[in-house]
Structure 1
Amino acid sequence: MHAVHQEWFDGTAAKDLDGVMSHIAEDVISYEHSEPLQYLGLESIREECRRGLEAASGAIDWDVPDLKILVREDIAVAWGLNRMQTQQPDGETAESWSRGTRVFQRREGEWMMIHQHVSFPFDPKTGQAKTDLRP
């Protein structure tokens, strides 16, 4: 599971959409940071990832520094705090943290993500996402 995540981290840094899409199942269901409420299927996730990679004007880095993984037979769950760093047009680096949980199933010998849930905490007073929090 660590190797799967490392492929995603490397694919993100290289802005390699095919690399980012590796290990994502055709029938994936993902709860992303943005609308809609859920993304169904590989193509919807591919489009969301494409938009994210293209939105970064400079370097982009994603990792989960304290990744936790639990594996049982053909099911695995991974969770942790996602750290995204993007280089801004002015050369500064922007950083945001969010929460992430991913569920995998071993299919034909490969670990494939079948579900993902990523979210930002929110401010109950304003209802707005809190993207400036740090662990």
Structure 2
Amino acid sequence: MSADDGEIRTLIERWAEAVHRGDMAGVLADHSDDIVMFDVPPPYEGARGIDAYRETWPPFFEWQSKGARFEIVSLDITAGEDIAFAHALLRCGIEKELADNPDNRLRLTVGLRKEEGRWLVAHEHHSFPDSSV
């Protein structure tokens, strides 16, 4: 594992822990001001910019406070000199949902860029498989 891979792994693991704690400052840390996030719930055109990104989290934190999990199961990273991406699978749900469908995973893709020697998340994409088909 390269130093960049390790830095990115730590950044994403810290972010996931902050999400699970409902720690907004931790969730926003290491994200670019011009982040674009495509998420499971609306807005359909995605959240564009750090302020819009911030606004997406309170409803998730409220849902999660009812006992939901948010745990990284696997995380793979590909890093170049100043651009990187990572993809992960997470257990995300309340205990009943996880018990009813133990193989369901939240899919996460993260795009990063290095600015002034520091990795920043510039893009996030969250999705669940469509189990209705």
Normalised by the size of structure 1, how large is the TM-score? 0.77
Structure 2 CA distance for aligned equivalents of residues 121 and 6 of structure 1: 22
Aligned pair 1:6/2:13, yes or no? yes
Residue 76 of structure 1 corresponds to 84
The C-alpha deviation readout for 1:66-107, integer Å capped at 9, x for no partner, is 100000001110002122144xxxxx5643522111100011
Task: Give me the CA root mean square deviation.
Answer: 2.0
Q: Distance in 1 between matches of 2:15 and 2:69?
A: 10
**TM-score under structure 2 length normalisation:** 0.78
Are 1:13 and 1:59, in contact at CA under 8 Å, matched by a contact in 2? no
Shift of 1:16: 0.8
Change (3 A) 1:12 1:123: closer
Counterpart of 2:112 (choices 104, 107, 110) is: 104
Residue 129 of structure 1 aligns with which residue? Answer: none
Give aligned-pair identity as a percent: 26
Partner SS state of residue 122, structure 1:
coil
Q: Which runs of 5+ in 2 are unaligned?
A: 1-7, 99-103
Please say if residues 102 and 113 of structure 1, whose CA atoms lie closer than 8 Å, have aligned partners that are also in contact.
yes
Change (3 A) 1:69 1:55: same
1:17 aligns with 2:59: no
Q: Which moved more, 1:68-77 or 1:4-13?
A: 4-13
Task: Specify the SS of the correspondent of 2:13.
Answer: helix
